[in-house]
Amino acid sequence: MSETVIKNVRARLVYNSRGEETIEVEVVVGNSVGRAAAPAGKSKGEKEVMYYPSGGVAEAIRIVNDEIADKLRGVDASRIENVEEILRRYDDTKNLKKIGGNTVYAVSLAASLAASNSMGIPLYKYLRIVNDFHLPIPLGNVIGGGRHAGKGAPDWQELLALPIEAPNIHLAIRANIMVHEYTGKLLDKTLGGFTLGKGDEGAYAPPIDTLKGLEILKEAVEHVSDELGFKIGVGVDVAASSLWDPKNKMYVYPTEGKKLSRKEQIERVVDWVERFNLVYVEDPMEENDMDGFVELNKMLNGKTLICGDDLIVTNPDILREAVAKKAVTALIVKPNQVGFITTSMETVRVAHTEKIVPVVSHRSGEPPEGHLAQLAIAWGGKILKSGIMGGERIAKANELIRVSEEIGGSRVARL
């Protein structure tokens, strides 16, 4: 039997970083094993595929063990397309309601890991779509708000650090950790004592509004930039869909006690991009307002990356539409938004062709593994959005360090 033929497939229930149930799949290829679990987002775009079938995680596990496993045994896993073709035949629905995107992703990633192990190559070479490898710039959540935090925290979901001029991956990772640490000190000083409470992604969740959070983060970033001698940028994930009230057509800011019109939301983003020299702005408008993205992108005219997450949900067709309208200059890549790894790869190929910056991203609920870092390298992701603190976040950073020993630590992407 070929060393790249699937011998066995097994699914089980495990838990993610939020303590939620998720599916883990184990695939045996030749004498090698691949194991992968699915993540879960709290801020989820309405255009994403379903995570699981109607019966939830338990039903997904049953389907894999009782039905999918038999169909995959004997399949040549030397190409991931062979594996995913079986899954596509099983679930040909548009939103993957029969099996779920998390199930597809866990099976596909586990098979990829098993096949790459059997072939004696790292995952990033097995799933490569680029000829020349580089290390993505780590993008980390420092101050959290919105659905990732709770009442009284900033209304924008993530205030981020991006070490855009780090000379090597070690210093890039270290810079984000230092910004996180110094921000904690500033919060403690500003608030007259702060418990250093954190949200879903290991970011601080302080009782301040977004503006104050940006002021503190900017001070921290400038302090660490001066200490390390290279530029670190401030970025944000507005997660505007979580603020949007569709009935009243307003953006609701509960911590501030304000409601902004569409025009006022655009004006606020432009103002804060200029005031804080933001280098990255994710989902500044709600997910169905592509024209709002277009307007904002035109107004800012290259001053910052305008990144679509809920707007595009890793869907290549939506990305093509966004490119045609000039709505974004970057996009979030979350494989479980579309389930199939090959669909994510198609989306990234479109991004490269159209000069859109791919940002390969974690979810707020993550398994404690570093595979996402390898996907970012395989696909030429210029940025890896994977958090800063917490075991499941550090796992991605450590994986970048390991791969840097093969391709060179100074091969960090440039924007």
The residue type of 106 is: A
How many CB atoms within 10 Å of residue 190?
15
How many CB atoms within 10 Å of residue 326?
12
How many CB atoms within 10 Å of residue 152?
13
Cα separation, 200 vs 215, in Å, equals 22
Cα separation, 245 vs 247, in Å, equals 6
Residue whose C-alpha is closest to residue 224's, from 158, 277, 275, 176: 176
Q: What's the per-residue H, E or C state across 159-224?
A: EEEECCCCCCHHHHHHHHHHHHHHHHHHHHHHHCCCCCCECCCCCECCCCCHHHHHHHHHHHHHHH
Q: Which residues pair with 385 in a beta bridge?
A: 139, 361
Cα separation, 133 vs 246, in Å, equals 43
CA dihedral 252, 258, 261, 266 (to 10 degrees): -90
Calculate the CA 177 to chain-centre distance.
18
Rounded to 5°, angle at Cα 28 from 27 and 30: 150
Alpha-carbon distances, residue 277 vs 74, 132, 288, 294 (angstroms)? 54, 31, 27, 20
Q: Transcribe 141-160 into DSSP letters.
A: EEEE-GGGS-TTS-SSSEEE
Tokens of 247: 């009935």
Active-site positions read 201, 334
- The residue whose two tokens read 């398994």 is 367
Tokens of 198: 């954190």
